[in-house]
């Protein structure tokens, strides 16, 4: 429960106003030429006035990258880690790879959280949108629970899809390439005086990663009692999806938004040399319905409300010793009300409340479990949690140069925990184009169902080490973050610079105890410190360069982790005996260059670098050497007349065929390519 001191502090933090009314907006206007962002504080702000470090991935960057899957886009964010347990099971995290579920990163699509039980993670392959449906992405680099609640302890990914009125006419796109790449999509949109809509129908497919041709990391297969590690690439994926968005704006005051979508995904999962998780198909279905309403009020105020319903169903059947079946059904309902208002010429406030209901049912049958784990042949589990959130954020322009952002969220997680997540940031404009930011925040992560209830299964893996053991009494994780940032825009040089120093302290971290207890426990403590930079430069109106770099260091409570069975992987990570330190790449970088050529040609190339690392929950055979990769894209647009326009594009990934594996040693990413034909009319 919250103490009186915590509640008082929260109210005082949000109530700073009225004493500064004497400062008038007639002084120098410190408007900045930075992108406007929405997700950091729930207020529309220039990037230079946001309370967090942020990266914006716009439509131009998405096209220039050449990526065909959404998770790969986050390779363009400094400090982000993109990994793949299987070709169809990617994950995105910040500060290295905590495990294959990346539970500390909140992900939203148009304000709808897709961070789902039982593992409290994102099933990227089961989203009812394609990369072409995305208009832009805002990434908050660092905790943002004050705005977006629990599970935002590392950061927030906010994906904005194209408006209903953003697509006019018909579009057909076909992609073919190596590794079974086979995508087809059709789109149609219509703009009207009071009603706009768009619709996407798509099929995507690929065969995942390549097969290895040499033993991973030169480890003899006999050492691991395995014979098929060299040809274990069973990770194909096929998805069929539909999404629809409509916008009704009958007057200049009200706007109504309706979205719905569905996805059916078939993933090949399991391993050829596994007894407990052999190769089989995992069937996933997801659906959603989202309703939104915005009303413009007097004095630039705004009232908004949104509701959404989501469902995800997963099912798999395979043979261990005897047939096994397991499935999970998840659903979520959430409603949120938000009010934005101007308290004075120099003060804005946004506040609101939300309620969420998560339902989960998992069941299975496996006679082999009795033989392997001493568990009952059949098992089931269910949960129904009700969560609430109360939030507020205040923006006070103390002087034209000095801006104070204060905010907080009180949240009940439905598991008996109530947490207060405060945030404060001070932005000082050295000049209209240069800003220094100092900020501090606290964020919490609620234990996942799979961590607190072992009877809840993990689709895609037989996650029942002991079906009679639970992990009761788990407490939320806590992250304390401090950062110092600089943003500079240099118009004469056509250059912008974003710098960030950070120190993030995770306490009460949840991890799996590998000893005889076989449960999840609190007790992990990790300190992440580092430096991030983004440089953007326009050589001229036809060429752009974006460079990202991150230097990160991590240290943990080594003795406690060693006692829990984490060895530190000294042999493969000689720079450390700390199981968390080696888990974070010390240096990582990305470069994206785009060039618009004569005769309607376009060329772009990208380079990605990542230092060697040891994934936290993998053995030494999965040690990741240094990764270097270069991609290239060339495209030609054309106009056939008669209203038909189009584009032909060729993408080559890992252009120089640098040999590297991704997270799991079997995931070999060799050179590959694909071509796309797009027609618009």
Confidence of residue 628 (pLDDT cuts 50, 70, 90): very high
- Residue 67 has a pLDDT of 97
- Among 173-182, 368-377, 560-569, 576-585, the minimum mean pLDDT is found in 368-377
Q: Is the pLDDT assigned to residue 331 strictly greater than 60?
A: yes
Mean pLDDT over the full length of the chain: 85
- Residue 17 has a pLDDT of 37
DSSP codes joined into one string, 432-445:
TTEEEEEEEEEEEE
Instruction: Specify burial of residue 589 (Cβ count, 10 A radius: 0-12, 13-18, 19+).
Output: middle
Instruction: Tell which residue, 389, 360, 366, 362, has the closest CA to residue 378.
Output: 366
Instruction: Name the strand (E) or helix (H) holding 587.
Output: strand 587-597
Instruction: Tell which residue, 259, 322, 316, 263, has the closest CA to residue 293.
Output: 259
Q: Is the pLDDT assigned to residue 2 strictly greater than 50?
A: no
- Residue 561 has a pLDDT of 58
Which tops the pLDDT comparison, 252 or 602? 602
- Residue 24 has a pLDDT of 33
Confidence of residue 20 (pLDDT cuts 50, 70, 90): very low
- Residue 317 has a pLDDT of 78
Distance (Å, whole) CA 652 – CA 649: 10
Confidence of residue 523 (pLDDT cuts 50, 70, 90): confident
Q: Please, are residues 435 and 90 in contact by the beta-carbon 8 Å criterion?
A: no
Q: Which residues contact 245 (CB under 8 A, 6 or more apart)?
A: 161, 162, 163, 164, 197, 198, 199, 257, 258, 259
Residue with tokens 């050492």: 223
Q: Is the pLDDT assigned to residue 416 strictly greater than 50?
A: yes
Q: Is the pLDDT assigned to residue 121 strictly greater than 70?
A: yes
Q: What is the pLDDT of residues 50-62, one digit of tens each?
A: 999 999 999 999 9
- Among 135-139, 275-279, 341-345, 589-593, the minimum mean pLDDT is found in 275-279
Share of the chain above pLDDT 70, in %: 81
Residues 499-504: what's their mean pLDDT? 97
Structure-token pair, residue 162: 């194209």
Instruction: Tell which residue, 196, 197, 177, has the closest CA to residue 187.
Output: 197
Q: Is the pLDDT assigned to residue 396 strictly greater than 70?
A: yes
Q: What is the pLDDT of residues 270-328, one digit of tens each?
A: 877 666 678 888 999 999 999 999 999 998 899 999 999 999 998 887 665 556 677 88
Delimit the domains of the chain by residue range: 4-218+245-372+402-680
Distance (Å, whole) CA 70 – CA 114: 14
Residues 167-180: what's their mean pLDDT? 94
Provide the whole-model pTM. Answer: 0.90
Which residues partner with 81 through β-bridges? 93
* Phi-psi region at 62: left, alpha or beta (left = phi > 0; alpha = psi -120 to 50): alpha
Residues 597-603: what's their mean pLDDT? 96
Q: Is the pLDDT assigned to residue 572 strictly greater than 50?
A: no
- Residue 481 has a pLDDT of 96
CATH entry, 4-218+245-372+402-680, from 2.40.170.20, 2.40.30.10, 3.40.190.10, 1.10.3720.10: 2.40.170.20
């Amino acid at each position: 429960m919250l103490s009186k001191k915590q509640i008082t502090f929260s109210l005082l933090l949000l109530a700073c106003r009225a004493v500064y009314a004497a400062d008038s907006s007639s002084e120098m206007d410190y408007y900045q030429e930075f992108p406007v962002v929405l997700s950091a504080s729930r207020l529309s702000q220039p990037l230079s006035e946001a309370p967090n470090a942020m990266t914006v991935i716009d439509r131009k960057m998405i096209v220039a990258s050449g990526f065909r899957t959404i998770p790969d886009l986050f390779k363009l964010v400094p400090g982000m880690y993109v990994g793949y347990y299987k070709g169809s099971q990617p994950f995105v995290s910040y500060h290295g790879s905590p495990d294959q579920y990346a539970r500390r990163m909140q992900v939203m699509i148009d304000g709808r959280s897709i961070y789902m039980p039982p593992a409290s993670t994102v099933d990227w392959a089961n989203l009812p949108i394609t990369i072409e449906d995305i208009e832009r992405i805002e990434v908050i680099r660092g905790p943002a629970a004050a705005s977006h609640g629990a599970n935002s302890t590392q950061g927030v990914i906010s994906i904005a899809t194209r408006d209903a009125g953003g697509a006019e006419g018909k579009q057909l796109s076909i992609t073919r390439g190596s590794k079974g790449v086979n995508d087809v999509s059709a789109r149609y949109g219509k703009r009207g005086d009071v009603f706009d809509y768009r619709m996407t129908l798509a099929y995507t497919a690929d065969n995942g990663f390549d097969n290895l041709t040499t033993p991973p990391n030169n480890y003899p297969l006999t050492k691991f009692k395995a014979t098929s590690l060299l040809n274990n690439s069973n990770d194909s994926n096929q998805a069929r999806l539909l999404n629809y968005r409509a916008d009704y704006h009958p007057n200049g005051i009200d706007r109504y938004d309706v979205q719905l979508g569905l996805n059916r995904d078939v993933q090949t999962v399991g391993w050829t040399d596994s007894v407990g998780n052999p190769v089989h198909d995992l069937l996933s279905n997801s659906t959603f319905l989202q309703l939104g309403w915005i009303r413009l009020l007097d004095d630039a105020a705004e009232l908004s409300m949104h509701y959404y319903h989501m469902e995800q169903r997963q099912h798999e059947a395979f043979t261990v010793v005897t047939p096994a079946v397991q499935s999970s059904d998840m659903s979520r309902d959430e409603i949120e009300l938000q009010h934005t208002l101007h308290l004075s010429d120099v003060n804005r406030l946004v506040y609101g409340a939300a309620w969420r209901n998560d339902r989960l049912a998992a069941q299975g049958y496996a006679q082999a479990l009795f033989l392997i784990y001493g568990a009952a042949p059949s098992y089931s589990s269910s949960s129904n949690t009700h969560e609430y959130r109360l939030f507020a954020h205040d923006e006070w322009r103390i002087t034209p140069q000095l801006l104070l952002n204060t905010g907080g969220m009180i949240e009940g997680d439905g598991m008996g925990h109530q947490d207060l997540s405060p945030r404060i940031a001070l932005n000082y404009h050295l000049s209209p184009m240069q800003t220094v930011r100092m900020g501090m925040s606290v964020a919490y992560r609620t234990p996942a169902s799979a961590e607190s209830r072992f009877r809840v299964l993990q689709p895609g893996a037989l996650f029942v080490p002991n079906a009679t053991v639970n992990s009761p009494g788990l407490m939320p994780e806590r992250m304390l973050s401090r950062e110092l940032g600089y943003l500079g825009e240099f118009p004469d040089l056509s250059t912008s610079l974003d710098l960030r120093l950070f120190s993030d302290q995770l306490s009460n971290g949840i991890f799996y105890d590998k000893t005889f207890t076989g449960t999840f426990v609190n007790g992990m403590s990790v300190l992440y410190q580092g430096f991030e930079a983004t440089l953007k430069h326009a050589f001229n109106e036809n060429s752009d360069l974006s460079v990202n770099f991150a230097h990160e260091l991590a240290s943990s409570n080594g003795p406690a982790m060693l006692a829990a069975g984490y060895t530190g992987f000294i042999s493969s990570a000689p720079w450390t005996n700390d199981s968390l330190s080696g888990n974070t790449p010390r240096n990582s970088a990305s470069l994206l260059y785009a060039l618009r050529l004569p005769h309607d040609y376009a060329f772009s190339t990208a380079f990605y670098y990542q230092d060697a690392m040891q994934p936290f929950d993998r053995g030494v055979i999965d040690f990741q050497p240094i990764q270097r990769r270069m991609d290239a894209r060339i495209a030609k647009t054309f106009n056939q007349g008669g209203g038909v326009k189009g584009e032909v594009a060729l993408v080559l990934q890992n252009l120089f065929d640098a040999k590297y594996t991704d997270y799991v040693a079997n995931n070999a990413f060799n050179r590959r390519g694909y071509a796309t034909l797009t027609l618009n009319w």
